[in-house]
Every structure is written in structure tokens, then in C-alpha cells.
């Protein structure tokens, strides 16, 4: 299981950190959680999706512990390392509330791409839509979020 899913989890973590030691540590901690909690897997989705969610949560916990000001959000295609470097819990809660205002496929595609780290091909397969349609939903979701935030994304600072 570890060998089968390592590369995909590595690619997901690579979007948030370029440090191989950190990435491997996060993945190892993730799989420790997977193996400890495999009995909780309910088969409502794919095993890979469940592992991806655990890996993302482990990564978020790691960054919260290391720097309490880091928050995850991907608003621009160019911002592959999508952690907002200045913020607090209120900002994070506000972001999540605004993401939750998206509906249907807009929300599903945005969360799968920006938060869970799926690529457009994987999203298309999961939602039974084309890769291009997935890209369109993401672009539209970003436009809606930008209107909600009423800001230009140029004013945000992105970093590792």
C-alpha cells in the first residue's frame, strides 16, 4: 500500500514544500495514521482518496505546529505553493466559510484541486467530466471566490 500510493502523496506534498525531508516525514506520519486507522475506512470513497485526506491533514498539522500563521489556499494557477504566510484563525475560518458558499461542481472541483491536491485528469475521472470541464469549474470557482474576497490576488504574498 505504501509503495502504491507514495508517489501520489509525494506529488501532493510537493505543492506545499520543496524540502524532501519534510515531505518524507509527513508521508511517513500519514501512513502510520493510515495503518493505525485502516479499520475506520468505510469504503464510501476510494482508498486513495482516504489516504490523500489523511496525508493532507497530517501536512496541515505539521505546518500548523511549525508555524501557526500558515494557512492553505490556492487562488492562482501560478501559485503552486499555496500557503498564505500572514493570517490568523479568523482569516482561515473566513476563507473556509467562503469556500463553502460555492455550490455543486464548483465546490467539488475547487476542494479536490486546491485542498486535496488532485489534478484535473483525476478530478475528471472522479466526477465523470472532461479534464477541460474540470479546469473551467476551477477557473469559475476562483472568480467567485475572488469576488467574495473583493481583492486582487496580487495583494497576497505566497510562500513555502
The pLDDT score that the predictor gives to residue 94 is: 67
104: left (phi over 0), alpha (psi -120 to 50) or beta: left
Name, of 50-54, 73-77, 80-84, the range with top average pLDDT: 50-54
Over 90: is that where the pLDDT of 128 sits? Answer: yes
Contact 142, 110 (CB under 8 A): yes
More confident residue, 32 or 83: 32
C-alpha grid cell for residue 36? 493505525
| C-alpha to C-alpha distance for 97 and 100, rounded to whole angstroms | 5
Q: What is the pLDDT of residues 4-49, one digit of tens each?
A: 999 999 988 887 777 889 899 999 999 999 999 999 888 777 888 8
Domain ranges in the chain are 2-66, 83-159
pLDDT band per the 50, 70, 90 thresholds, residue 98:
confident
Contacts of 86 (CB under 8 A, 6+ apart): 69, 157
Give CATH for domain 83-159: 1.10.10.10
The pLDDT score that the predictor gives to residue 148 is: 79
Amino acid at each position: 500500500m505504501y509503495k502504491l500510493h507514495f508517489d501520489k502523496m509525494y506529488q501532493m506534498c510537493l505543492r506545499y514544500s520543496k524540502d524532501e525531508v519534510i515531505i518524507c516525514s509527513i508521508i511517513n506520519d500519514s501512513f502510520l495514521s493510515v495503518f493505525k486507522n485502516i479499520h475506520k475506512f468505510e469504503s464510501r470513497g476510494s482508498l486513495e482518496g482516504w489516504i490523500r485526506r489523511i496525508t493532507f491533514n497530517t501536512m496541515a498539522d505539521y505546518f500548523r505546529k511549525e508555524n501557526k500563521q500558515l494557512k492553505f489556499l490556492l487562488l492562482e494557477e501560478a501559485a503552486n505553493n499555496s500557503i498564505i504566510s500572514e493570517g490568523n484563525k479568523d482569516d482561515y475560518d473566513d476563507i473556509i466559510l467562503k469556500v463553502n458558499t460555492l455550490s455543486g461542481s464548483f465546490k467539488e472541483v475547487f476542494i479536490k484541486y486546491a485542498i486535496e491536491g488532485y489534478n484535473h485528469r483525476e478530478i475528471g475521472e472522479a466526477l465523470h467530466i472532461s479534464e477541460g470541464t474540470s479546469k473551467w469549474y476551477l477557473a469559475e470557482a476562483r472568480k467567485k471566490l475572488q469576488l467574495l474576497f473583493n481583492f486582487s490576488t496580487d495583494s497576497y504574498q505566497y510562500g513555502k
